[in-house]
Amino acid sequence: MLDKPKHGAAAGIRPERADWTIDQGWEKYTAQEHAVWRTLFERQTRLLPGRACDAFVAGMQQLPIDASQIPDFRRLSEVLMRHTGWQIVAVPGLVPDEVFFDHLANRRFPAGSFIRKADELDYLEEPDVFHDVFGHVPMLMNPVIADFVQAYGVGGLRAQQLGVLPQLARVYWYTVEFGLVQQKDGLRIYGSGIASSYTESVFALEDASPNRIGFELERVMRTNYRIDDFQEVYFVLDRLEDLLALADIDFAPVYQRVGALPELQPGDVLATDRVLHRGSGQYHRRASGGT
Ligand code: HBI
Ligand code: FE
């Protein structure tokens, strides 16, 4: 997802404001840009019934998000503010970690304002408005996720000081971005990286290749992730509420235990894992040139 950034901090862009926010410039979107939104919205909306979790569907229904145009962050923020006290602020792309955390700690979600090109619908070098708004905002209508993402912002600032940011970032990656949840009626998506991806929505739930393993905090903190392809492992919550226990955890002792254990690679499976699906591994073996 992240090679050759053109938009954010890694592209060498200097911010006008210290918090990296910009005006969304909603009035300046072109008809072509709104059309890209429509294409993405429509194909994703066909795919998600029976795949996205109930909280995602409920959040989407209550928000001013539809196929007709790229949403206006001011209108999203009004509705979000009423429900969970969150706002959406526009940023040019990836922002530095401490800027990102400071926004989250204050219940402001930084969303990329640009949209991908019509000929690169499935290629994302950086989070754009479709990933950030379609993928993340519906879940921020859910009180559990709303509190958890804020806690991640607070924890991120602290983890940076302790030098353990990679461990914490894995928790965000395997929950907010690529999390699955067990519902009464089956396995569902709540992670925004999956929910905003046409191909990964099917791969994550239905493909035989990836491992699907019960979420366990310290296991996840030890596990590297890939940013350039489908995940090799998805961690599954029994219920979204299980994230609440993490919101006020004292991470210092956890970091100490995790730091003493070896790092795990995405495809690893441990004897202690609660394995829901043991993946064939076929997809990534092929992708890396094997068979
Ligand atoms: N900036 N806009 C934006 N969006 C992100 O998801 C993001 C970011 N900066 C840093 C970052 N994510 C992550 O690397 C942190 O969660 C560690
Ligand atoms: Fe994201």
Pocket flag, ligand 1, residue 36 (CB < 6 Å): no
- pLDDT tens across 94-148, in order? 999 999 999 999 999 999 999 999 999 987 879 999 999 999 999 999 999 999 9
Mean residue pLDDT of the chain comes to 94
In this prediction, residues 169-184 reach a mean pLDDT of 97
pLDDT score, position 101: 96
The mean pLDDT value for 210-222 works out to 97
Q: Does residue 187 fall inside a structural domain?
A: yes
Name the pTM for this structure. 0.95
Question: pLDDT of 62-83, one tens digit each?
Answer: 999 999 999 999 999 999 999 9
Q: Give a yes or no: residue 276 inside a domain.
A: yes
pLDDT at residue number 253: 86
Number of folded domains that form the chain: 1
- 72 touches ligand 1 (CB under 6 Å): no
pLDDT for the residue numbered 4: 59
Give the number of the atom of ligand 1 that is nearest the alpha carbon of residue 8: 2
**Calpha distance 90→24 (Å, rounded):** 5
Nearest to 193 by CA among 170, 175, 210, 217: 175
Identify the pLDDT of residue 290: 63
Any domain includes 21: no
The answer to whether residue 291 scores a pLDDT higher than 70 is no
Q: What pLDDT does 252 receive?
A: 82
Q: Ligand 1 centre from 97 Cα, in Å?
A: 6
CATH number where 213 lies: 1.10.800.10
Write out pLDDT tens, residues 221-234.
Answer: 999 999 989 999 99
Domain membership flag for residue 200: yes
Give the per-residue pLDDT at 187. 98
Point out the ligand 1 atom lying closest to the alpha carbon of residue 168.
17
Q: Is residue 1 part of a domain?
A: no
CA atoms of 244 and 215, how far apart (whole Å)? 13
Q: Residue 270 domain-assigned? A: yes
Is 11 a domain residue?
A: no
Nearest-angstrom CA–CA distance, 116 and 129: 8
Domain of 126 in residue numbering reads as 26-287
